[in-house]
Amino acid sequence: MAKILVVDDEASILETLDMFLGESGHTVLKADTATQGLAMFDQHVPEVVILDIRLPDANGLDVLSEIRARRRDAKVIMITAYQDMETTIEAMKRGGYDYIHKPLDIGEIEEAIGRALKVLEADQKASTPGFSSHAPEKDTIVGRSPKMREIFKTIGLLCQNRVSVLIEGETGTGKELIARVIHRKSSNAREPFVILDCSATVETLLETELFGHEKGAFTGAVTAKRGKIELAGNGTLFLDEVGELPLGVQKKLLGFLQRREYTRVGGQNTLRSGCRIIAATHRELDEMVGDGLFREDLYYRLKVVSIRVPPLRDRKEDIPALVSHFLNRINKDLGTSVYGLQPGAMEVLQAYSWPGNVRELENVLVEGIVRARGNVILLEDIKRILNRRDTYPKAQQDNDSLKTIEKEHIAAVLSEVRWNRTEAAKRLGISLPTLRRKIRIYGLEP
């Protein structure tokens, strides 16, 4: 049982809570002013404080801040007769554990106290997986599994040269992080690291994004623009989702890799670049080559050295180390101090399938830290977050079904207009570049 301090200027509330909580086995301390309440808090150090917002000698929010300043882990349940948004938000912002409206529901009070005591107990029993007080090193790849150790070896070899690299793996496995580490450990680490996300750039602009353009090269080109290759200088150009490059741009990229020369769109001058190309994709490029969607010669030019990043479900032994790394980094970023997991939480994390891979694990821990009311992430919070995410695979199946329907519809319209793409785009209500992209993605042919 616990010591509970009740601070309220209504005698009826003090008597009711004293009687009810006392019958439950708790030691109840009572105060009807802020001054008396703070004095009793310092003297008795209660586990839980029930604090009214409106007190005769002070604002309860200021008392809350004072209590939190004296003991950071104090669990303060705010009570008020005023049900407004601003006060609720402010109370939680200042570190209130819960916020309950009057007239008080004894069951709600009991439940809030139970949760607060559970958090305190979890804080005492929490496992702290490899906590370090030092700031995590930037761009660190975490892993001790055999597959990750092989990747570390390959990175070490790549740091000694500037050959092209193809990084393959599912979304969220950390492909960009690997590219950054290769760059950071290379002799050209002081040169730029430039990113071009091929999936997030409009198809018609990919060529100018990559190679740049001259003034007047096309409508709207009012000034000359340097492309990503030029911006990379002698550093690294990371082509994320390289499988989304149109075939025309693939041909020009191949020419650059062969000769290390290129021209801006609309330009005549030949430019040179010594930048290293690191490409990444979540798609199977070899299958795209077989389907005619990716140039075979470019595929082998990019794949001088390849790295296949395993999904998190295939290296679950790395999860404790990843959790430790993310807890340290997230707490530094958010200014929080939630460095532990309640017993059993790690086992739940290791049993999950992680369809979103390492990125999903990080997001789960971010949400867990934000929701934590103490210094640990509770097992029930981990379960709640993961149970909600378990609906994602079903959503993905629904999404796949929609894609099948879209593919069949586009194919039917193209057939009707005898593959007149301009007419098909009009009937479908999409732009011509979008139609071309979907034809390429779905592998449609006349």
Contact 373/97 with Cβ under 8 angstroms? yes
Q: Return the CATH number of the domain spanning residue range 146-309.
A: 3.40.50.300
Q: Return the CATH number of the domain spanning residue range 394-442.
A: 1.10.10
Comparing 429 with 212, which gets the higher pLDDT?
A: 212
pLDDT of amino acid 381:
92
CATH 1.10.8.60 assigned to 316-390: yes
Q: What angle do CA 441, 310, 244 make, to 5 degrees?
A: 20
At residue 399, does pLDDT exceed 60? Answer: no
Q: What is the mean predicted confidence (pLDDT) over 227-240?
A: 96
The percentage of the chain sitting over the pLDDT mark of 90, rounded to a whole number, equals 68
Smallest CA-to-CA distance from 440 within 167, 203, 171, 168 is with 203
Burial label for 181, CB within 10 Å (0-12, 13-18, 19+), is buried
Domain boundaries for CATH 3.40.50.300 within the chain: 146-309
At residue 395, does pLDDT exceed 50? Answer: no
How many whole angstroms from its chain centre is CA 211?
A: 31
Q: Return the CATH number of the domain spanning residue range 3-125.
A: 3.40.50.2300
pLDDT of amino acid 415:
87
**Number of residues assigned to the chain:** 446
At residue 195, does pLDDT exceed 90? Answer: yes
Smallest CA-to-CA distance from 61 within 78, 49, 47, 46 is with 78
Domain boundaries for CATH 1.10.10 within the chain: 394-442
Give 80's pLDDT tier (boundaries 50, 70, 90): confident
* CA dist., res. 140 & res. 143, Å (int): 10
pLDDT of amino acid 138:
66
Tell me the pLDDT tens digit for each residue of 166-183. 999 999 999 999 999 999
AA identity, residue 234: N
AA identity, residue 409: H
What is the residue whose two structure tokens read 């017993």?
343
Comparing 338 with 122, which gets the higher pLDDT?
A: 338
Q: DSSP class of residue 161?
A: S
Domain boundaries for CATH 1.10.8.60 within the chain: 316-390
In this structure, what are the phi and psi dihedrals at residue 233, rounded to the nearest 5 degrees?
55, -125
Tell me the pLDDT tens digit for each residue of 99-155. 998 888 888 999 999 999 988 888 877 666 655 545 556 678 999 999 999 999 999
At residue 86, does pLDDT exceed 70? Answer: yes
pLDDT of amino acid 128:
63
At residue 405, does pLDDT exceed 80? Answer: no
AA identity, residue 78: M
Domain boundaries for CATH 3.40.50.2300 within the chain: 3-125
At residue 364, does pLDDT exceed 80? Answer: yes
What is the residue-averaged pLDDT of the chain? 89
